[in-house]
Amino acid sequence: MVVKKFEAKSIKEAIHLVKFHMGPEAIILSAKENVKRFGLMGETSVEVTAAVSENKLQSKKQAERKLGARDRERFNKASAHKQREFIKKSTEAMIDEVFSRNSESESEWVDENAVDDEIKAQSEPEPEVIRQPQIPRQNGITSVRYADIDTPAGAVLAPTISAAQPPVVAPSTVIAAPSTLPDAKALSLQQEVQYLRGLVSNFQKMPAGFVSLHPGADEGLPYELSFAFKRLADAGIAHDNIVKILKVANEKLPKEQKQKKAFVDGWVIRYLLDELQIADKPMRAKFHAFLGPTGQGKTSTVIKLACHLIMNEKKRVALVTGDVVKVGATDQFKIYAQILNAPYAVVTKTSDWNTLAPQLAAIDYVLFDTPGLNLKAGNDLEVLRQILPPGLTKNPEDFQTHFVQSIMARDTDAFEIAERFKFVGFQDVIFTRLDEAVQFGLIYNFQKKFGSPLHSFGIGNNVPEDFEFASKERVIDLLFKLSQFAERGQS
């Protein structure tokens, strides 16, 4: 048994190498994609492991020795089916030719040394020695070897062996009559066949290639889009969203463009840019309430946004907190307000807003930090509603509610908590802790789940530097790591 590995840019090229070096009887044992990519133009290769019996391999080499350079080129371009037919005819002609020369004595078998001398006189020395000269006449072990490559137009196999053209046999080849095959060699051949049958049984449904094994194959996506499927999955995009994106790509992209990764990447990026939603006028209202469970970064987001409005946009900002649940939360908020020289207040009930109203008349923005609640308990929702500004339900245009979500959460956890806050209502979403994450698919998944546009991002601990309003380009950069690629190219 001969086992070899081949690496090529595509599965078709890899299979062509298998057929060229190992012949049409080779069996694909495994195939995998080697990823060596850097950015959108990354290259990949396909590695295929194939096996063939030594007898089959030697039969192929014997048949090729009968061909000239031009005919050998046609032979290599022919389909696997035509190659098998040619090798079979060549092998049968070779055996019949040798048998016919040594059939004068029917009572005793030809002397091996005499045959060897005769062959040496007719053929040029060959560096390769055929160790197993028996040519078993049997069908292939399995009907599924590998995908035949279409025969190019005009490709015709060379003429088969004629009686006037004796076969060329390697110097050390000794051909034994099938009826008198030695027991040891017959046993060896039988063991080899049994081994191959056992090997095939482990690959009961081996496909013509390994195309049915690629990512997205179970969803009906072609192999050409498998690299895009894997890239989106690595970015954290949910399976259902990936399938939806690539099914549209499969319909829209021409076949020749699907085979070029740059075209596919470009199309996917354009699709995501069209699908992403960014909050229109993120600071259009005067009152802003920040909602979400504990530990998501609400207070940090409020302080960063206040710092940005005061320092960069020269706005008058008031800081209000309703977080009387967490120990020390009000004191921490008061310290931040003193540093920013901003008005500060604590709200514990709805009527407190009526008291604050006259003092907030000259303020440009009021930022309200709500307590961190998971809303699992029945009274949590009622507590939250009691401290929200009373005009929230009367005139929603005067208020904006933002759901604050850490990017480090799992999709299922983030979705479950956001479902609870839908009863309160939120108009957009803010993602925090972007500096700690390696996957950013939750940004897209959350938006597809709730249809909420993106408001802003918290990208670190620095105030106010690590805050930015959301943009589509920023999301694409996070998903595909484009800026990292650019930095790698400059270094």
* Amino acid, res. 89: K
Write down the pLDDT at residue 304. 94
SS (H, E, C) the chain: CEEEEEEECCHHHHHHHHHHHHCCCCEEEEEEEEEECCHHHCEEEEEEEEEECHHHHHHHHHHHHCCCHHHHHHHHHCCHHHHHHHHHHHHHHHHHHHHHHCCCCCCCCCCHHHHHHHHHHHCCCCCCCCCCCCCCCCCCCCCCCCCCCCCCCCCCCCCCCCCCCCCCCCCCCCCCCHHHCCHHHHHHHHHHHHHHHHHHHHCCCCCCCCHHHCCCHHHCCCHHHHHHHHHHHHCCCCHHHHHHHHHHHHHHCCHHHHCCHHHHHHHHHHHHHHHCCECCCCCCCCEEEEECCCCCCHHHHHHHHHHHHHHCCCCCEEEEECCCCCCCHHHHHHHHHHHHCCCEEECCCCHHHHHHHHHHCCCCEEEEECCCCCCCCHHHHHHHHHHCCHHHCCCHHHEEEEEEEECCCCHHHHHHHHHHHCCCCCCEEEEECHHHCCCCHHHHHHHHHHCCCEEEEECCCCCCCCEEECCHHHHHHHHHCHHHHHHHHHC
Write down the pLDDT at residue 162. 41
Query: How far apart, in whole angstroms, are the C-alpha atoms of residue 213 and residue 217?
Result: 6
Query: How far apart, in whole angstroms, are the C-alpha atoms of residue 322 and residue 324?
Result: 6
Write down the pLDDT at residue 8. 84
Task: For residue range 136-176, list pLDDT tens digits in order.
Answer: 444 444 444 444 444 344 444 344 334 444 444 444 444 44
CATH architecture observed for domain 287-490: 3-Layer(aba) Sandwich (3.40)
- The count of other CB atoms within 10 Å of the CB of residue 457 is 25
Write down the pLDDT at residue 211. 44
Write down the pLDDT at residue 35. 64
- pTM value is 0.58
- The count of other CB atoms within 10 Å of the CB of residue 362 is 9
Task: For residue range 435-489, list pLDDT tens digits in order.
Answer: 999 999 999 999 999 999 999 999 988 887 889 999 999 999 999 988 764 444 4
Tokens 């192929």, residue located: 60
For each successive 10 residues of the chain (491 residues), what is the average pLDDT? 83 84 83 63 75 83 79 79 80 66 45 45 44 44 42 41 44 44 70 77 53 77 93 95 96 92 94 95 92 90 94 94 79 89 91 90 93 78 81 66 95 93 90 94 96 94 88 95 58 44
Write down the pLDDT at residue 98. 54
Write down the pLDDT at residue 491. 44
Write down the pLDDT at residue 306. 95
- Whole-number CA gyration radius for the chain: 37
Write down the pLDDT at residue 14. 83
Write down the pLDDT at residue 115. 40
What are the residue boundaries of the structural domains of the chain, listed by start?
2-202, 214-275, 287-490
Write down the pLDDT at residue 214. 83
